Amino acid sequence: MALKDVLALADDKLRETFHLKPHDPVKARKPHLTWLDKRKAAWADIGNKRDRFIKVNNGVVEFHLPFELGGKSVFYVPSERFADFLEKLHIAVNTGEADEAIAALNKGARTPGPARGKRGPLSPEALEARRAKMAAKKK
């Protein structure tokens, strides 16, 4: 009877809880603040180098964030106000206003990227050619 009582106290569902690392918001913000600092430097030198997260066209800046804020990860800002935008974004991340978005990103939630085309089925002719090629390799 004592063994049943001991086994009743153990719960294998607690394994995930045991292996979870405690979430430290300050530590989670640090790489994003560094990333934003790099974007500020890229914006200051935008004429000399390219940055895949910042695109300028017709006086408007298209800015891609690695996480969602307000349900969006792409922002369009007038180029003359973009430095202010980056500064305010840096302050918002540093004060913890983006902690939920960063925590969601760290839990595996991704911002949707561009759609990728899916490969369709092979045509009968292409399938037959592939089979013939494989048969020739075996001989």
- Report yes or no on 118 lying in a domain: no
- Report yes or no on 37 lying in a domain: yes
Query: What pLDDT does residue 34 have?
Result: 94
- Report yes or no on 29 lying in a domain: yes
> For residue 62, what are its two tokens?
């298209």
Q: How many CA atoms lie within 13 A of 73 on its CB side?
A: 15
Give the residue from 41, 99, 90, 37 showing the smallest Cα distance to 68. Answer: 99
If one counts the domains in the chain, the total is: 1
Say how far apart CA 104 and CA 31 lie, in whole Å. 15
Give the model confidence (pLDDT) of 32-62 as tens digits: 999 999 999 988 887 666 778 898 899 999 9
Query: What pLDDT does residue 8 have?
Result: 81
- Report yes or no on 99 lying in a domain: yes
- Report yes or no on 125 lying in a domain: no
- Report yes or no on 92 lying in a domain: yes
Sign of the alpha-carbon torsion through 59, 35, 70, 94: negative
pTM: 0.62
Query: What pLDDT does residue 74 have?
Result: 93
Non-local CB neighbours of 112 within 8 Å, separated by 6+ positions: 73
Q: What is the domain extent for residue 61?
A: 21-108
Say how far apart CA 29 and CA 98 lie, in whole Å. 8
Low-confidence ranges of the chain (pLDDT < 50): 109
- Report yes or no on 36 lying in a domain: yes
Query: What pLDDT does residue 110 have?
Result: 54
Query: What pLDDT does residue 99 have?
Result: 87
- Report yes or no on 138 lying in a domain: no
